[in-house]
Amino acid sequence: MRKVGIIGCGAIGTVIAKAVERGIVECDELVLYDRNMEKAEKLKKSLHFPVTVVKSLEELIKLKPLVIVEAASQQAVRDYVNKILAENIELIVMSVGALLDLDVKSKKIHIPSGAIGGLDAISSAALAGIDEVILTSRKNPEALEMDNQEEKIVYEGTAEEAVRLFPRGMNVAATLALTTQPEKVKVKIISDPKVHRNVHEIRIKWKHGDMFLKFENDPHPENPKTSALAAWSAINLLKQTLKKVHNKSMT
């Protein structure tokens, strides 16, 4: 039985659940967990699909989902990752920043590309040697909980510090750091009232050339800190992972 667990029933968790309901992901049942039970129950009521709401991670694990998607917070990753891996369950991590602080390595952990792409090219370049990665993220002040009327640089520094200061908005920096090396990634965050999309520009200098990647993503309507593409990258990864695990269980 293709059962999927979702930790966190906010904006991203809802998009993932709706995609499952629409048949984009081949799944037989969803198991929802959120520390705020009202969120989980509200999401369940909005779905016309087999859904179970649980009160704890332990209850979620007992139902034996093939894949669990974390869509809650960095703290949720810290609290739950080892317990999930101990049960040999595949885990998709959305709050990627938590992995920079954790000494956890497992083939059961899957990281979506999030609000960017080109990670295949970046990881290939990393094998040869990357000199520098510069990420410039430009967001509307609302996404940064600011109200500036003019363009303003709100952060310049390392990827690790950016992830700590902006835990919900800098998963892109964490993904780049994990794809290359944390010390290679420099981050600039700009609060710009003229933009209404989350814009990420990535410049990479590596042993055999240079790369420039740019992404302009609409923010999620219910959570401007999150790009809509982040949720859809998780859906795509869930679809691939679930199919792979299900096929393996059938052989």
Whether 194 shows a pLDDT value over 80: the answer reads yes
How many Å separate Cα 171 from the centre of its chain? 7
> Which residue in 196, 200, 208, 246 is the catalytic one?
200
16 and 90 inside one domain:
yes
- Per the CB < 8 A criterion, the answer to whether 166 and 146 are in contact is no
Q: Quick check: is 246 catalytic?
A: no
The domain total for the chain is 2
Q: By residue range, what is the domain housing residue 150?
A: 119-217
For the chain, count helices (H), then strands (E): 8, 13
Question: d(Cα 36, Cα 28) in Å, to the nearest integer?
Answer: 24
Q: What is the CATH number of the domain that holds 236?
A: 3.40.50.720
pLDDT confidence band for 144 (50 / 70 / 90): very high
147 and 58 inside one domain:
no
pLDDT tens digits for range 162-184 = 999 999 889 999 999 999 999 99
* Six token digits for residue 99: 């992995």
Is 222 a member of any domain? no
Q: What is the CATH number of the domain that holds 132?
A: 3.30.360.10
162 and 200 inside one domain:
yes
pLDDT confidence of residue 82 = 96
pLDDT confidence band for 12 (50 / 70 / 90): very high
pLDDT tens digits for range 59-82 = 999 999 999 999 999 999 999 999
Give the Å distances, CA to CA, from 109 to 35, 96, 237. 22, 11, 11
Spatial CA neighbour of 239 closest among 1, 2, 52: 2
3-class SS of residue 129: coil
